[in-house]
Structures are given as structure tokens and as C-alpha cells.
Amino acid sequence: MKNESVMMVGPTAVPQRVLDAMNRKSISHRSVEYCEIQARVSAGLKKVFGTQNEVYILTSSGTGAMEAAIQNCFSFGDEVVIPILGTFSAQFAAMAEAFKLKVVRVDYALGEAADVETVMHHVTPATKGVFVIHNESATGVFNDLQAFGEVLKETDTLFITDSVSGAGGLEMKMDDWHIDILLSSSQKALMVPAGLAFISLSEKAWKASETSDIPTYYFDLKKSRDFYSKDQTPNTPAVYNVFAVDEALKMIFEEGVEQVYQRHEKNTLAIIDGVKQLGYDIFPKDEKRASRTLTAVYAPGKAKRIVEELAKRNIIVNGGLAPNEEDVFRVGTMGFIFKEDVDAFLNALSEVRNLFTDCP
């Protein structure tokens, strides 16, 4: 029985087994032992990403992998289309502009998912990339990547996906869904402390990298590719986080990837159902597109107080992101979250709800 349920949307709870895996002596990142671990980790990440392509480990948070995608595969002035669903898709657009890309924003109301028809309306033969977030952690909405991949696969446009809050918790089929650049990070469904990002490129993306004119150095993926042939990274990686990912992947494969996805789905649906029974709405406008790794709950004017009151009851969740700090709170079901956490959350919420005279 846990005495606290850490149900944040990232960084997420780190299992004791993963913490124990980091409690060991240091090794050189050029040693045979390290190379064996890295080889195992990249093989495991390929399964989680659903790809035959290499998955590169970067020592950074997820944002570093977003930068790597832009720096390596685009050129100054390239036109890209980005559906904006909330904070993190907006961050990708701002970053692309910082690298002097020409961004066509497709704006959605907060809580909506992106739809292929509207986005494709903005895609022309000049479009070099379409950036579709997998799971918008700000609003708790996930997108149908397969549908985007189907329409983009026949074009010269790259399909880029940020799955920072998806991979490891949501089904991911990079190759089958024709994703050209897929990125994620360690501190979400992969149950590892922050510090590593992961990125994988299709053949089409590597081809684009040959003509990219944006300078790279730390995030030069061609260098990563060279070093990967020796199961190493160009610079010193966060070796202890690599130990942690190794252990976390073992846990995921012991449970079974499909079972892990099912657990995420079941727990999230139980939360959606439970909060609705308590009288709250969820923030996503279409329940079918409500994320299966986190739930954004709509509690107008009360969200901050609810987060504080839940914390007093040892349930740690996150508040909303701007402009929804007062109205939305977010409950993570990513990674090491089980039915007992869901039950503890719902019990605590039903108590907290009664603190308000005009509940919910």
C-alpha cells in the first residue's frame, strides 16, 4: 500500500526498482559494460517507438529533442504547418520561429484535437513539415497520428511528432503510421527521472538532413548516428539515467507493452468516469480524443484549491497551465500508476469536493 500517490503529468513517479538500478558504482561511457547497456536500451526504445529505425539518446529534457528535430532536418525559411492545441504545440511553433522557419499555425480552441482535413487545408507542395503533437499535456487531448501519417506519406512533407507525454503509455507505431521524426523524453510514461530525450528519424527525415542549413553542434544527429555504430553517444550521456531507462524498459517488457497500454487506458477511463460521477467535466471537448495518459479536469475557479487539498491527502497532481490555472487541474496516469492510485485519487477528490459549499 503506497502512502502517497504521485500522479503528476511529469516528472512522474519513479519505481523503487528504477531508483535501485541507479544506486550503483559509476562506469565509463566508453566501457564495454556501458555499450552493452546502451545497445539494450536502444533496442527497447525501438519497440516502444514501434520502429526499425535507430532511436538516439540525447542528454537533455524533451525540449532538446524538439530542437534537434528542427536543427537537423530543416533549413532557414522552410515553411511548416503546426496545429496549435495548447502550451506544448505552441512551444514547438515558437521554437521553429526561433530557428527562422516560417510557421503556419492552425489554431484550435483549447480542449480540441487536431483534425486532418483542417490541417491539410494549409499544406501545400511548399510545406516542409507538419508537426503534430501526440498528446497535448496542457489540455489532455491526444491526436490521431495514424490519420495524419496516411495523408502525409505520399508527400515530400515530413511528419514530426512530439510524444513526450505519450510514448511508453500510448500505442505508438512510428513505422506503420509513417512518422518521420518521433521524439520523447524519460520523465513521463517511461518512469525515469528527467534528463534524457529520445529521437528517431525515418529515411525521409535523414534525406532532409542532408540539405539542412541550420548549424548544429551538441544536437548533431549525424554525429549521434556515427557513435551509435559503437553503441555510444558523442558526448558524456547521463549514464545513471541510462541505467534507469534500462530497468524501466525491463519492467515494461515484463508486464508486456500491450498490457501497459491497457493499464493506462483502464486507469484513465476510470478517472474520467469517476470525476464525472463527482460532477466535474473533463476539459477535452470530445471524450474520444481525451488522453489516456493524463486527464485534464475542468473545475472552474476551484482548480488551484483542489490541487492543494489533494496534496494534503497525499495525492499529488498538477494545476492547469496558462490561461487555465484557476479552472483546470491535471491528473497523470503515466507510468507507475495502478488501480490503488486511481481509487485513492477519487476518494480524496470526493472528500475535497465536499469542502466547497457550491460543489463541485
Binding residues (CB under 6 A) for ligand PLP: these are 10, 61-63, 88, 133, 135, 137, 162, 164-165, 185
SS3 assignment, position 220: coil
CB of 9 to ligand PLP, least distance (A): 7
Closer CB to ligand PLP, 191 or 348, in the complex: 191
Nearer to ligand PLP, 58 or 119 (CB): 58
**CB of 34 or CB of 336, closer to ligand PLP:** 336
Minimum distance of ligand PLP from residue 158's CB (angstroms): 18
Query: Strand, helix or coil at 42?
Result: helix
Nearer to ligand PLP, 5 or 187 (CB): 187
CB of 328 to ligand PLP, least distance (A): 15
Q: How far is the CB of 63 from ligand PLP (least distance, A)?
A: 3
In the chain, at which residue ranges do the beta strands (DSSP E only) sit? 5-6, 55-58, 79-84, 102-107, 127-133, 135-136, 141-142, 158-162, 181-185, 197-201, 281-282, 294-298, 315-316, 318-319, 328-332
Name the minimum Å distance from CB 165 to ligand PLP.
4
User: Do residues 198 and 43 lie in contact, with contact meaning Cβ atoms separated by under 8 Å?
Assistant: no
Identify which of 172, 184, 205, 186 has the alpha carbon closest to the alpha carbon of residue 73: 205
State how far the Cα of 286 lies from the Cα of 133, in Å rounded to an integer: 17
Report in angstroms how near the CB of residue 162 gets to ligand PLP at its nearest: 5
Alpha-carbon distance 12 to 226, whole Å? Answer: 32
Could you give the CA distance from residue 56 to residue 225 in angstroms, rounded to a whole number? Answer: 8
Instruction: Check: CB of residue 314 under 8 Å from CB of residue 3.
Output: yes
Nearest 10 degrees: CA dihedral of 348, 351, 355, 360?
Answer: 90
Q: Which is nearer to ligand PLP, 1 or 322 (CB)?
A: 322
Minimum distance, C-beta of residue 202 to ligand PLP, in the bound complex (Å) = 20
Of residues 34 and 177, the one with the C-beta less far from ligand PLP: 177
Q: Which residue, 138, 131, 145, 141, is CA-closest to 93?
A: 131
Partners of residue 5 on adjacent β-strands: 315
Nearer to ligand PLP, 96 or 164 (CB): 164
